[in-house]
Amino acid sequence: MHTLKLLSAFFKVNVQMALAYRADTVVNILLNLMWLGWELLGLNIIFSNTETLGGWGIGELIALLGVFRLVNTMMIALIWPNTEKFNQSIRDGSMDYTILQPVNSMFLVTFSRITVWRIWDLVLAIILIVVGVNMSGEATTALHILTFILLALSGTIIIYSLWIVLIALTFWFTKFDNNVTILQALMDAGRYPATVYPVWLRVIVTFIIPIAVATTVPLQALRGELVIGQILMYVGISFVSFWLASKVWKLGLKRYSGASS
């Protein structure tokens, strides 16, 4: 209950901040629609020259774009806004105030800033998934949808864990400011199905830096392509990723010297 109250308080504060800049919110939504148009135009150009890409049709690629935007929006709304603030807090020592709070420091660093207007992007992402699945003609069941939601959450946890590891490196390398840029570059690999990549790269984006687990895999579950063993494996990867990220975070906190040092 204490955590839910904190989340509610963070959300209210960020809503107030968003309402203070209504024009910016409208402009950002319009820009997002423009980028979505460019992405769909790019897919249209690709499929004007071929019928499939890595064995996937245009409807499936539109659905994949929706999954990618779904996961990416969660990162943009929750993760990216907090990165710069965290990096600065390590350099100026204001991280002291976060550590001294009677709440998990990783939780505070993650949720203190929320880009509220990105909720609109989540709606767009869901629409893309529904439209793409309908275009592909794939038959979906309630079980497929539940598995999709489970694996989409697992994928988001994996990307979140990668982010925690990257920002935790700031505890060791104070001037490390490229953590968001690195993760965003890695995320771009999830725009296309893992099957378009050569085997060695497919292994990397699935198991070593499991970006595909956050994008391609949930859609495979929605298409009914995964067996129970694969689903459990991918969920297990998310738990292991979060556990490792938590360990790295705790090691980083031990390295932090604070403003008084």
* Contacts (Cβ under 8 Å, ≥6 apart) of 110: 78, 79, 82, 160
User: Would you state the pLDDT for residue 211?
Assistant: 79
User: Would you state the pLDDT for residue 225?
Assistant: 83
Torsion, CA 213, CA 234, CA 145, CA 62, rounded to 10: 10
pLDDT, mean of residues 16-38: 73
Residue 112, pLDDT > 90, answer no
Domain count, the chain: 1
Q: For residues 18 and 70, which has the higher predicted lDDT (pLDDT)? A: 70
CA angle at 118 for the pair 117 and 121, rounded to the nearest 5°: 125
Answer yes or no: is 260 within a domain: no
**Residue 175 — very low, low, confident or very high, per pLDDT cuts 50/70/90?**
low
User: Would you state the pLDDT for residue 246?
Assistant: 92
Nearest C-alpha neighbor of 146 from the set 39, 30, 42, 226:
226
Answer yes or no: is 51 within a domain: yes
Residue 243, pLDDT > 90, answer yes
User: Would you state the pLDDT for residue 244?
Assistant: 93
Answer yes or no: is 97 within a domain: yes
Three-state secondary structure readout of 118-140: HHHHHHHHHHHHHHHHHHHCCCC
What type of residue sits at position 110?
Answer: T
pLDDT, mean of residues 134-158: 84
Q: For residues 99 and 177, which has the higher predicted lDDT (pLDDT)? A: 99
Contacts of 140-146 with C-beta under 8 Å, sequence gap 24+, read 140/222, 140/223, 140/224, 141/224, 144/221, 144/222, 144/223, 144/224, 145/222
What type of residue sits at position 241?
Answer: S
Between CA 52 and CA 202 the distance in angstroms is: 18
pLDDT, mean of residues 117-145: 82
Answer yes or no: is 118 within a domain: yes
The whole domain housing 29 covers 2-255
User: Would you state the pLDDT for residue 72?
Assistant: 81
Between CA 238 and CA 213 the distance in angstroms is: 9
**Residue 19 — very low, low, confident or very high, per pLDDT cuts 50/70/90?**
low
Answer yes or no: is 261 within a domain: no
* pTM for the full predicted model: 0.77
Residue 30, pLDDT > 90, answer no
Q: For residues 40 and 54, which has the higher predicted lDDT (pLDDT)? A: 40
